[in-house]
Amino acid sequence: MHPHHTVTCSFSAPEPACSEKNRIYSSEILLRFNIAALSPFIFHSFSPPSPAKQVLLALSGLPPPSLHLGIASAIAPPSATLLHRASLQATINSKKMARKFFVGGNWKCNGTVESVSKLVDTLNAGEIVSTDIVEVVVAPTFIHIPLVKDRLRSEIQVSAQNCWVKKGGAYTGEVSAEQLVDLGIPYVILGHSERRHILKESHDFVGQKCAYALSKGLKVIACIGETLDEREAGNTIKVCAEQLIAIKEAIGENWSDVVVAYEPVWAIGTGKVATPEQAEEVHAELRKWLAENVSAEVAEATRILYGGSVTAGNCKELAKKPNVDGFLVGGAALKPEFIDIINSAQIKVAA
Ligand code: PGA
């Protein structure tokens, strides 16, 4: 399987000759490349006349510098279809492709040393798509974290399910952000509905936790979502926005290490998944909220996951939706089908 890379091309001026679709992105066109080899490549799918002005390439994840130069010189000539050395496919995509698909497995308060070890074996043996197209994390209980971290394949990162709101000390039963960082844990889930509803964590408390975890270098999977009553009362967006406001008040513009997980409470652990249309509608509204209340850049870059009864059976249809950037998975993350859910990332590549 070939690695996938995201390449951003910026043009110095809008190109009137571009097609309608491309004109939208004339100042910043995102191309997704599937680099097959260093053999001669064909630069195609760039069907409108290429803007011949200065082409600035911001390349991410393309290791050989010679290839960068090859691509730059392939794009610079003003012809529509360009040929160069190395086999390369490019498709013009909207900027949304910059958001790498993300799949999180929330193991909640489940597992024994034996069952967790078996689950790790299953994940290690599974065939999963390249980390170039999907970021995967699993969140075991605190006590199982060291075991999982030691044995799990390196493509899957380990997350905690919670952490304390400030520096550690005399807080019986808590685990601090510093302790997670010390253990080499990159992510923490915060604001999960089970903590909001069962343990009565308030919006502000979750916001403060997010801010503290980020300040210590953790990345945060921040969960939000409405109850069934709130949805039926037509308050879904209002409730989610209140949860986001509390996070924004605590973290400000600092969203680069935040992944938002939209998890309708009525869908969590119930087998009652949101329809792809329901998920897309809320995700699009959440992105709009980010654009209006934080910034257009943050709205564009922030991954919004869907969570709530995601399975191998329903993940593909959900993944097709443009604003669904991945999943936070509970029950199905404890089963081999989690591999299929990870691999639903391919839908985005094919789209
Ligand atoms: P579920 O849980 O997939 O079992 O519904 C999701 C979650 O709580 O994150």
> What local confidence, expressed as pLDDT, does residue 350 receive?
77
| In the chain, domain spans | 21-94, 99-350
Is 253 noted as a catalytic residue in this protein?
A: no
Closest CA to 259 of 233, 224, 234: 224
Span from the CA of 330 to the centroid of ligand 1 (angstroms): 3
> What local confidence, expressed as pLDDT, does residue 4 receive?
35
What is the average per-residue pLDDT within 277-297? Answer: 98
Ligand 1 atom with least separation from CA of 108? 8
> Could you please report the per-residue DSSP string of 75-112?
HSSS-SSEE-SS-EEEEEE-GGGGS-EEEEEE-TT---
User: What are the backbone angles phi and psi of residue 57, rounded to the nearest 5°?
Assistant: -110, 125
Q: Are 136 and 103 in contact (CB under 8 A)?
A: yes
Is 337 noted as a catalytic residue in this protein?
A: no
d(CA 94, CA 318): 19
Span from the CA of 173 to the centroid of ligand 1 (angstroms): 24
Indicate the Cα dihedral angle 323, 325, 329, 332, nearest 10°: 90
- Which one of 309, 315, 340 would you pick to mutate in the ligand 1 pocket, going by the greatest count of ligand atoms within 8 A of its CB? 309
- Which one of 106, 199, 273, 341 would you pick to mutate in the ligand 1 pocket, going by the greatest count of ligand atoms within 8 A of its CB? 106
Distances (CA, A) of 227 to 8, 178, 197, 264: 39, 32, 10, 6
> What local confidence, expressed as pLDDT, does residue 349 receive?
84
Span from the CA of 62 to the centroid of ligand 1 (angstroms): 35
What is the average per-residue pLDDT within 239-263? Answer: 98
Ligand 1 atom with least separation from CA of 106? 9
Ligand 1: residue whose CA is nearest its atom 6: 330
Q: Are 180 and 188 in contact (CB under 8 A)?
A: yes
Q: Quick check: helix, strand or coil at residue 301? A: helix
Q: Residue 46: pLDDT above 50? A: no
pLDDT band at 53 (very low <50, low <70, confident <90, very high): very low
Q: Which CATH superfamily hosts domain 99-350?
A: Aldolase class I (3.20.20.70)
Could you tell me the two tokens for 51?
A: 């803007």
Residues 153-197 pLDDT 10s: 999 999 999 999 999 999 999 999 999 999 999 999 999 999 999
Q: Residue 228: pLDDT above 70? A: yes
Active-site residue identified among 4, 192, 203, 283? 192
> What local confidence, expressed as pLDDT, does residue 152 receive?
98
Q: Which of 37-51, 87-101, 239-253, 325-339 has the lowest mean pLDDT?
A: 37-51
With pLDDT > 90 as the criterion, what percentage of the chain qualifies? Answer: 71
Ligand 1: residue whose CA is nearest its atom 1: 330
Q: Residues 21-29: contacts with CB within 8 Å, 24+ apart?
A: 21/92, 22/48, 22/92, 24/94, 25/92, 25/94, 25/95, 26/51, 28/95, 29/92
> What local confidence, expressed as pLDDT, does residue 8 receive?
35
What is the average per-residue pLDDT within 272-301? Answer: 97
The predicted model scores a pTM of: 0.75
> What local confidence, expressed as pLDDT, does residue 239 receive?
98
For residues 280 and 38, the model is more confident at: 280
> What local confidence, expressed as pLDDT, does residue 65 receive?
35
Ligand 1 atom with least separation from CA of 223? 9
Residues 290-327 pLDDT 10s: 999 999 999 999 999 999 999 999 999 999 999 999 99
Q: Ligand 1 site: residues with CB under 6 angstroms? A: 106, 263, 268-269, 307-310, 328-332
d(CA 176, CA 216): 10
Q: Residues 71-78: contacts with CB within 8 Å, 24+ apart?
A: 71/7, 71/33, 71/43, 74/41, 74/43, 75/9, 75/43, 75/46, 75/50, 76/52, 77/50, 77/52, 78/49, 78/50, 78/51, 78/52
Q: Which of 84-88, 286-290, 335-339 has the lowest mean pLDDT?
A: 84-88
> What local confidence, expressed as pLDDT, does residue 244 receive?
98
> What local confidence, expressed as pLDDT, does residue 194 receive?
98
Q: Is 267 exposed, middle or buried (0-12, 13-18, 19+ CB in 10 A)?
A: buried
> What local confidence, expressed as pLDDT, does residue 278 receive?
98
Span from the CA of 74 to the centroid of ligand 1 (angstroms): 46
Span from the CA of 143 to the centroid of ligand 1 (angstroms): 20
152's CB contacts (< 8 A; 6+ apart) are: 120, 123, 124, 138, 158
138, β-bridge pairs: 105, 158
> What local confidence, expressed as pLDDT, does residue 318 receive?
98
Residues 56-102 pLDDT 10s: 233 333 333 333 333 433 443 333 233 222 223 333 333 334 799 99
